[in-house]
Structure 1
Amino acid sequence: MAVVVALGAFLMTLFGGWTAQRVTDRRHLVLGLAGGLMLGVVGLDLLPEAMDAAGEKVFGVPQALLLFVGGFLLAHVMERLLAVRSAAHGAETGRGAERSASPGGGGREAGGRTPQVGLTAAAAMVGHSLMDGVALGAAFQVGGGMGATVALAVITHDFADGFNTYTITSLYGNARRKALAMLFADAVAPLVGAASTLLFTLPEELLGSYLGFFGGALLYLAAAEILPEAHHEHPALTTLLCTVAGVAFIWLVVGLSGG
């Protein structure tokens, strides 16, 4: 049953990515909505679940929060290191300007974005979707009622996952085919995760630790990259409203799924 439900998550993820592609002429609105969805997923879904599953304190601080901060810092450090390495490579070869103007050139795009960061972030989204599938399978092992509740949350917020996976990959200057490949991987991941629960069960504390760490990395991308980019060229009220709408949507999903 869990694998059948995960098929719905597969389709919803693809629909989210398709939506992100269709509104590229309103890029600032796409980014504003994506930032709101990411903020909502972290603050209203991932972090509460992580605290419930891995709330044991380590030197006075809940384990999930320590990993949350660690994920945020790692995302920041990784982006800085990749950006510095890319800039240094461009200076050494003397072809930085050409790569900036060339789509999929492997260096930094004109906006200063590093493609590897987008791919790494999208890979983290795929990992999160894989864990969604695992959580879905584990919930159905507990009972049909629990499975239905988790299924509603997973299928609905996988729209945000697909939307964000395509947006993040594209934002950092990756070619469209790479963004589509990451979107497809993100869509397949819940199916794989749900099927894996037929073989093993993931300890609750480990799942909570992962959610905390991933939430920190996702918050960094939303607050330090996606939202500033959304308001860079179009600091409009409509962009802000899209961000608020994204958060409200995730709140609605969490509320309907029973928190």
Structure 2
Amino acid sequence: MAVFVALGAFLMTLFGGWTAQHVTDRRHLVLGVAGGLMLGAAGLDLLPEAMAAAGHEVFGVPQALLLFVGGFLVAHLVERMLAARQASHGAYNGARNGHDHRVPQVGMTVAAAMVGHSLMDGIAIGAAFQAGGGMGATVALAVISHDFADGFNTYTVTSLYGNERRKALAMLVAAALAPVVGAASTLLFTLPPELLGSYLGFFGGVLVYLAAAEILPEAHHRHPAHSTLLCTVGGVAFIWLVTGVAE
């Protein structure tokens, strides 16, 4: 049953990526929505789940929050290291002459992290069905709903950093297949709740960094319009709605 339900996540992820591909003339709005979806997913979905599953304190701070901050810092360090490497090869000399200075490796790294997140989505579906049909249906609704955002963000982030379209499509397909693989894997093992919560906290920190430091600044760079801000708020509201319905 869990694998069958995960096929819905597969289709929804592809639909999200397809949507991202066909709105290139409104790129700032796409990025605004993507930033809102990422912030909403991290703050309203991932972090509460992480706190519930891995909320015991480590030196006075909940473990999930420590990993949340750790994810933020790791994303920042990875981007700075890749940017410095690119600069050492003269990439930013071209940027001063008006050429693209984005770092494709960052986009691929982020997309790979999203594939990993989608894999954990599938594992979460399988683990929930292990606990019972009702729990499985609730988790499946939340996962399938926000997998639209996963597909949308995977394609957008990969493309945003200057990767070729074929690479963005490859990462999109990988993100779509990941929930099915994750759900199938739960036929072989039972995932400890604390491990799942720890991962969700860490990945939530990664998403917040990407949304606040990369996606939203890029969205407002050339089109600082109120419509972009409204799209961001709409993305957050959508995740809030999905989370509320799932509960």
Q: Percent identity over the alignment?
A: 81
Alignment partners' CA distance in 2, 1:142 and 1:111: 50
Alignment partners' CA distance in 2, 1:110 and 1:171: 15
One-letter identity of the residue aligned with 1:220? Y
- Residue equivalent to 1:18: 18
1:110, CA displacement in angstroms?
3.5
RMSD: 1.3
1:112, CA displacement in angstroms?
2.4
After TM superposition, the score normalised by the length of structure 1 is: 0.92
- Residue equivalent to 1:27: 27
Alignment partners' CA distance in 2, 1:112 and 1:228: 15
- Residue equivalent to 2:154: 165
Give unpaired runs (5+ residues) of structure 2. none
- Residue equivalent to 2:172: 183
Give 1:143-158 correspondences, 5 Å limit: 143-158=132-147
Number of aligned residue pairs: 245
Q: What CA deviation, in whole Å up to 9, does each residue of 1:13-64 have, x standing for no partner?
A: 0000000000011000000000000000000000000000100100000011
Pair 1:128-2:114 in alignment: no
Q: What CA deviation, in whole Å up to 9, does each residue of 1:63-120 have, x standing for no partner?
A: 11011101100100110110010110127xxx963xx7xxxxxxxx934221101100
One-letter identity of the residue aligned with 1:89? H
Alignment partners' CA distance in 1, 2:190 and 2:211: 31
One-letter identity of the residue aligned with 1:83? A
Pair 1:56-2:56 in alignment: yes
Alignment partners' CA distance in 1, 2:63 and 2:99: 39
Alignment partners' CA distance in 1, 2:156 and 2:211: 11
SS of equivalent residue, structure 2 residue 90:
helix
Alignment partners' CA distance in 2, 1:96 and 1:134: 45
| Structure 1 residue ranges (4+ consecutive) displaced by more than 3 angstroms after TM superposition | none
Alignment partners' CA distance in 1, 2:20 and 2:109: 19
Alignment partners' CA distance in 2, 1:110 and 1:33: 26
After TM superposition, the score normalised by the length of structure 2 is: 0.97
One-letter identity of the residue aligned with 1:47? L
Alignment partners' CA distance in 2, 1:168 and 1:137: 28
